[in-house]
Amino acid sequence: MKKYIVFALLAALIILPAGCKKEEPAADPDPEQQQPGEQQTVLVEEEILLFYPDKGGNFLLPEFRKIIIKENAGSNEMVEIVLSELIKGTENEMLDSITPAHAKVLSFGLDGSAITIDFSEDFIVDRYSNREKLLQVYSVVNTLSELGIEEVSIFVDGEPVSDHYTSLETEMPYVRNDELIPSK
């Protein structure tokens, strides 16, 4: 009988550790294996050029701004960010923010080197002088020209901006106006 007890104890000593072995947690699968079609987003810092009027309201002057954007951002994303930054207003004390900060881009459509933008009615500022209205429109146009956009059509709640700013002499689409930028 002692042999059976010794044998049972030996068997228990051999079987118990094997049965109580902790399982190693499974390694987390590689993120690329989890979502094969999706790549990790890489953000990069880029410098953009915005145009705002000088304090005297005579010219449009450049303001360089650094933004963070996806490395492979498309043209639509770039336009959206640039318009958003332009509406935020200038960070330079020598320049004036010309587009009201509460103006919204309702929509825009990019077609090659041409764009159509529809702003909310907050874009319009009735008290602006004719010169300020011109500088506001060309602040948008000249800024977008830095992205390679050659023609800009601006609407406000679906109506041409020239219906609101009748002093604008140029018909749409608007093109970059270098006469508003002082020469070096």
Q: What is the mean pLDDT of the chain?
A: 85
Mean pLDDT of 56-75: 92
Pairing of strands 151-156, 114-119: parallel
Looking at residue 13, its pLDDT comes to: 44
- Rounded CA separation 20/15 (Å): 9
> How far, CA to CA in Å, does 104 sit from each of 55, 59, 121, 122, 130?
24, 24, 8, 7, 22
- pLDDT at position 16 over 50: no
- pLDDT at position 34 over 70: no
Q: Is 183 helix (H, G, I), strand (E, B) or coil?
A: coil
Looking at residue 55, its pLDDT comes to: 94
**What percent of the chain is predicted at pLDDT more than 70?**
78
Q: Where do the DSSP E strands lie in 80-140?
A: 105-111, 114-119
Write phi, then psi, for 105 (nearest 5 degrees).
-90, 110
Looking at residue 169, its pLDDT comes to: 80
Dihedral (Cα; 83, 45, 61, 107), 10-degree rounding: -10
- pLDDT at position 21 over 90: no
- Model confidence at 5, in pLDDT bands (50, 70, 90)? very low
- Rounded CA separation 156/120 (Å): 6
Q: Name the pTM for this structure.
A: 0.77
Looking at residue 38, its pLDDT comes to: 61
